[in-house]
Chains A and B, each alone.
Chain A
């Protein structure tokens, strides 16, 4: 199912939390939703679901959510790890959610087992750890096998094995033709999980492209080289108008092809001791792009 956010906007008093945000979630793709704290990610998710009143609209295959009869078969949501009544058991919580789309009790038990919640199914949710709460939230989101998943920080509090499981699960889920939007602060994890990313800062769209394109577009130095004559190579490269930076013995060169750089060294009788492609990470690129627009900056010790 194709999801279109069109001109989403929301103000809290005089502060514009989300400003005219438009994007599309394509079926079969895990889309990462990134932004610094307070950038408007959660507000955007709430706007998409009609939980917050604001500007714009979200269409699910061209129709607003209210036009569908069984919402949880269209969109599954997990907006907060602790959105449960603390006195209700995990099974009761899921059976309650199941009522909306008339999901059977057998399916509830199946999901409980699949999410590894069988041993705690009859326990009250107030006794749950953050990780268990996340699993229960995810169980609720996928209970009716929805065509779209909207998840807000689903990996918070999960142990490494469960994060690994979540990554595989979401990829498989999307591979079945579903649309998945995941907001997360775990950027290294997002790099492995998402094919496409939407980056916002201060409620404005900063990027809406594939992870590879995002990194590549914002990466300034692609090759790192160590040679016997760094001064000579630096001047040769500068003469060719190639951006280069010296970092001790290393030269960081803004070139894409290691072969071209190797040839330059060979032509000028420069011995290459080390040459590697420096692939920028999503985390590094994200931090560079958003460092100026971060709303709640951490002070230095």
Chain B
């Protein structure tokens, strides 16, 4: 489909796409390599798992870089008025939306895979300190993080489409994760003690990093990736996406 080629050329001809991808990879490797280079005992002389790596290398900062690339997918078009160029070429808005979302998500997924491969190679190369890479828990952690990032990025896209402001797409999910949901929980938890379990971004974040929000949950089994879906996180972002599509279909492109 020509829309996919168009979107690939759009995203790949921007210098910022490659700079942000490079920085995402570099920060993940740096966080891993620094303790190794300083000969800090990394994993208590046992092999390193992806569950241990994700909270420190992938989820916190890597996803911010990826969300910036995703936010730019619509953010640049609205900021520079080039949404008119895009929609002149693809007047069927759903077609453009499909191409843009697909390429943005596939691109960030590829950067994620490259980063994970780089981390595994680094751990394997430093096996004397790391104890090598533990493949047994690799699949569930890998898929969980990929899903978390994909849902997060869909929310980012939706916020940019709704507000037409690129920065809000990056800042709002970040602020929700880091501050807003914490404050809401703090205020309401005495009255509604269960509320912290249902804060969407906190729920998604905990699920991705393998922190238990259900104490009996087994994070090492691949089957639990799908049986333990963080529902608040999924529903919240799904609602954002539905609203964004409706608005995008009806709104003027100017």
Contact = CB atoms under 8 A, between A and B. Distances in A.
Interface of A: 46, 49-53, 65-66, 70-72, 75, 77, 79-80, 82-89, 92-93, 95-97, 99-102, 140
A102 B14 contact: no
Majority SS at the chain A contact face: mixed
A46 B253 contact: yes
Contacts of B143: none
Given A51-B88, A71-B91, A83 B80 contact: yes
B87 interface: yes
B90 interface: yes
Contact of B252 (A51, A101, A102): A51
6 contacts: A49-B88, A75-B88, A83-B80, A92-B9, A99-B8, A100-B3
A88 B89 CA distance: 18
Interface residues of B, number: 28
A12 to B, nearest CB: 9
B16 A72 contact: no
Given A92-B13, A102-B2, A46 B82 contact: no
Contact of B90 (A71, A80, A89): A71
Contacts of A140: 85
A144 B111 CA distance: 33
B76 A70 contact: no
A281 to B, nearest CB: 33
Given A53-B250, A87-B16, A102-B2, A79 B91 contact: no
Contact of B81 (A72, A80, A99, A101): A80
B88 A77 contact: yes
Contacts of A84: 80, 82
B84 interface: yes
Contacts of A83: 80-82, 84-85
Most buried by A among B3, B8, B14, B84: B84
Instruction: Name the 5 nearest CB pairs between A and B, nearest first.
Output: A92-B13, A99-B6, A99-B5, A96-B9, A51-B253
A219 B82 CA distance: 42
A72 B252 contact: no
A93 B86 CA distance: 12
Contacts of B253: 46, 51-52
Nearest to B7: A99
Contacts of B15: 87
A136 to B, nearest CB: 12
Nearest to A98: B9
Nearest to A68: B91
A196 to B, nearest CB: 23
Nearest to A46: B254
Contacts of A93: 13
A10 to B, nearest CB: 9
A71 B9 CA distance: 18
